[in-house]
Amino acid sequence: MALALRGRPRLVVFDARHAIDSCDHACRRLKADSYTSVVPAVLWIESDESLGRAFDADADEVLREDNSPAEVDQRLAVLLRRSDRDVRVHPSTRLPGTMEIEAEIGRRMARGEKFAVCYADLDHFKEFNDRYSYYDGDRVIRILAKILHDVVKGIAGERGFVGHIGGDDFIFVVPLALIAEVCSEIIEVFDALAPFQYSEQDRRAGYYFGKDRRGQLHRVPLMTVSIGVVTNERRHFTHAAQVSELATEMKSYAKTLPGSVYTIDRRHDAPDDDSGGARRNVAGAVEEQ
């Protein structure tokens, strides 16, 4: 357990052929800790008589002495692939996390596609959490995740991607031609559902009074959603970090505008200068919707 807690191994195999009691106990300890519970645990048993007990100990896979080396290799490879998929998604929304978001952007750049990366974030979400509870906040995050997934997949199908950075921050990727349709639909659905996450009194008023960081009361409007959009229509990106930086910038700008909005970065890259210097960004239009 000390080794697992320090390093979080990729895989743990318990040799339970002649020590089923101690391995049963060790496997349960591994799976009981929130940090090590994601580590795949394999019990190597002597016969089928211990099969049920091995799975009852929360083992992810069970191997027997009579398994061939080829079968063992295949079973462990599948187990590791399944484990990788599990840790690449956000636990509350089951949407792909940061690693998969970057990989998806990289794949689209490698294919030479024209695409839009959209950064969605809730406005006044912290105040909502402070007034209600983190449980209510989690419900709102799951609602937004469901809206994003259903709208993006409903309109873009397999050409759309939705990922969850964490908290109330989401990324979705769609073809250029679908930006307006997808973003408008997301805003319309969210604005229709968001008021019903409040008490009837707050919903009727359209605001409530909350405290800022200095402890002073101020009027807090109901939650809205801001979406910053970056495309490679007028820009040349070489890695996902460039896209992420610009998407964050556009999201921050969208949050300065009232209500639910999406803003599209219309700036473009300037040609390299005569000295062969690095490509620089020049100011262009920002489209607000």
| 91 assigned to some structural domain | no
Of residues 170 and 281, which shows the higher confidence score? Answer: 170
Q: What is the pLDDT of residue 244?
A: 92
Reply yes or no on whether the pLDDT at 284 is more than 80: no
Domain that holds residue 161: 98-288
Q: Are 15 and 45 a contacting pair, CB within 8 Å?
A: no
Residue with tokens 């000295």: 275
Element (H, E) at 170: strand 169-175
Q: Are residues 62 and 177 in the same domain?
A: no
Q: Are residues 46 and 112 in the same domain?
A: no
Of 58, 85, 112, which residue constitutes the final position of a domain? 85
Average pLDDT over residues 20-43: 87
Q: What is the pLDDT of residue 278?
A: 31
pLDDT band at 289 (very low <50, low <70, confident <90, very high): low
In the chain, % of residues over pLDDT 70:
92
| 222 assigned to some structural domain | yes
| 228 assigned to some structural domain | yes
Q: Residues of 129-163 as b/e, b for ≥16 C-beta within 10 angstroms?
A: bebbeeeebeebbebbbebbbebbeebbeebbbbb
The closest alpha carbon to 245, from 228, 270, 257, belongs to 228
Reply yes or no on whether the pLDDT at 198 is more than 50: yes
Distances 106 to 97, 101, 109 between C-alpha atoms, Å: 14, 9, 5
**What are the pLDDT digits (tens) for 230-255?**
999 988 898 899 999 999 999 999 99
Q: Are residues 40 and 155 in the same domain?
A: no
The residues with which 175 forms a beta bridge, in sequence order, are 115
| Averaged confidence pLDDT in the chain | 88
pLDDT band at 218 (very low <50, low <70, confident <90, very high): confident
Residue with tokens 């909005």: 261
**What are the pLDDT digits (tens) for 94-133?**
899 998 999 999 999 999 999 999 999 999 999 999 999 9
Q: Are residues 107 and 66 in the same domain?
A: no
Q: Are residues 140 and 279 in the same domain?
A: yes
| 93 assigned to some structural domain | no
Compute the distance between CA of residue 172 and CA of residue 227 in angstroms, rounded to an integer. 10
The CATH number assigned to the domain holding 72 equals 3.40.50.2300
pLDDT band at 270 (very low <50, low <70, confident <90, very high): low
- C-beta atoms surrounding 248 within 10 Å: 16
Q: How many domains does the chain have?
A: 2
Burial bucket for residue 14 (CB in 10 Å: 0-12, 13-18, 19+): buried
Q: What is the pLDDT of residue 136?
A: 95
The CATH number assigned to the domain holding 138 equals 3.30.70.270
Average pLDDT over residues 175-188: 97
Q: Are residues 266 and 164 in the same domain?
A: yes
Reply yes or no on whether the pLDDT at 286 is more than 60: no
Residue with tokens 């239009």: 285
